[in-house]
């Protein structure tokens, strides 16, 4: 039987996922747009509509495995102004950086509401968690994750070409690592370290800067 707490928990998780996924994807598209590529904008990926960004398998992975991915943002690096590799690096890191910034920002209302005993602290904690999770997971250097674009941007052009040529095979490797639990073992310590740092940051801001406790 479903009770009110289950419903609230589901709503909190849904909100947290949206707060993590949508800004991440918009950041990719907007960074590309600023660099001269309007592909994401034309494709509707600068929209707040979650249906434009959600990948069904990635979403289910986030719900049940606590890490996952969204639909890849279409990028045409040939449209970038200036250095293509530098542009690729900036666009790849834009989403991850957005997630980490959001995690630390939401650590502040989390710290305050937790210390006050407010139930809304659970929502802020979920938002913090999913942003850190999405940020760290996307740094894994396997396609289609952002980490693979970071690696590709640092490779010589001939090696980069081969990397992209065979990237579809890396997808299989990623899926195998995810569902075997290997990825979880590798990135969980990093996720927890960042989350704990965010907790400390939020508490410090509440106590020493805002002086509201």
Distant-in-sequence, close-in-space partners of 26: CB < 8 Å, separation ≥ 6: 45, 46, 47, 48, 53
For the question of residue 160 being annotated catalytic, the response is no
- How many residues does the structure list for the chain? 213
Render 40-87 in DSSP notation, one character per residue: HHHTTTTSS-GGGT--HHHHHHHHHHS----PPPP--GGG-SS-HHHH
Catalytic choice (25, 126, 160, 167)? 25
Q: Which residues have a catalytic role annotated? A: 25
């Amino acid at each position: 039987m479903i009770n009110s707490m289950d419903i609230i928990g589901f709503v909190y998780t849904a909100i947290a996922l949206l707060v993590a996924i949508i800004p991440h994807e918009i950041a990719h598209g907007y960074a590309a747009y600023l660099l001269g590529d309007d592909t994401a904008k034309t494709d509707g990926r600068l929209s707040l509509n979650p249906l434009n960004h959600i990948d069904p398998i990635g979403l289910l992975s986030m719900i049940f495995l606590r890490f996952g991915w969204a639909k890849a943002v279409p990028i045409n690096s040939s449209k970038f102004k200036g250095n293509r590799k530098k542009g690729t690096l900036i666009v790849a890191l834009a989403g991850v950086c957005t997630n980490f910034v959001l995690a630390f920002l939401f650590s502040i209302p989390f710290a305050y509401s937790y210390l006050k005993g407010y139930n809304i602290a659970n929502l802020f904690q979920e938002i913090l968690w999913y942003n850190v999770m999405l940020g760290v997971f996307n740094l894994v250097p396997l396609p289609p994750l952002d980490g693979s674009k970071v690696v590709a941007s640092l490779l010589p052009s001939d090696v980069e070409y081969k990397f992209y040529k065979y990237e579809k095979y890396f997808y299989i490797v990623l899926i195998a690592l995810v569902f075997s639990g290997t990825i979880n073992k590798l990135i969980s310590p990093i996720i927890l370290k960042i989350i704990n740092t965010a907790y400390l940051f939020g508490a410090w801001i509440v106590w020493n800067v805002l002086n509201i406790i």
